[in-house]
Amino acid sequence: GENVEQHPSTLSVQEGDSAVIKCTYSDSASNYFPWYKQELGKGPQLIIDIRSNVGEKKDQRIAVTLNKTAKHFSLHITETQPEDSAVYFCAAMTSYQKVTFGTGTKLQVIP
């Protein structure tokens, strides 16, 4: 089955700096890569996604990149703000029916 690795597990940045979270996946059949933000006591919330026919996607301060050949994808958050502090999960979908999550990155933005 699919295996998604995520790094780093924790990340502290100063407010205004950029944050980068990296993931790798194992199944070359994966074709959809969502990123979720999970705040304390809440469920994962989709923040951005990328499909395998696209190399990069941007939404305001958030961008994702995908390298299918290397099976790498990354989340970039620019101009970080305290409200960006949360746990971020990358994920991959192979079958249409399940999301395989990465191990999570706890992001702390220091004011």
Partner 1 sequence: EPEVTQTPSHQVTQMGQEVILRCVPISNHLYFYWYRQILGQKVEFLVSFYNNEISEKSEIFDDQFSVERPDGSNFTLKIRSTKLEDSAMYFCASRRGLSSTDTQYFGPGTRLTVL
Residues at the site binding partner 1, with contacts judged by CB under 8 A = 31-32, 34, 36, 41-46, 49, 51, 89, 95-104
To partner 1, the closest distance from the beta carbon of 17 in angstroms equals 26
Closest CB to partner 1 among residues 12, 95:
95
Q: Nearest distance from residue 36's CB to partner 1, in Å?
A: 8
Cα–Cα distance for residue pair 25/92, rounded to 1 Å = 7
CA-CA-CA-CA dihedral for 19, 58, 38, 34, to nearest 10: -120
Q: Which is nearer to partner 1, 24 or 100 (CB)?
A: 100
Q: How far is the CB of 58 from partner 1 (least distance, A)?
A: 18
Which residue's CB is nearer to partner 1, number 69 or number 97? 97
Pick between residue 49 and residue 78 the one whose CB is nearest to partner 1: 49
- Smallest gap from Cβ 14 to partner 1, in A, equals 26
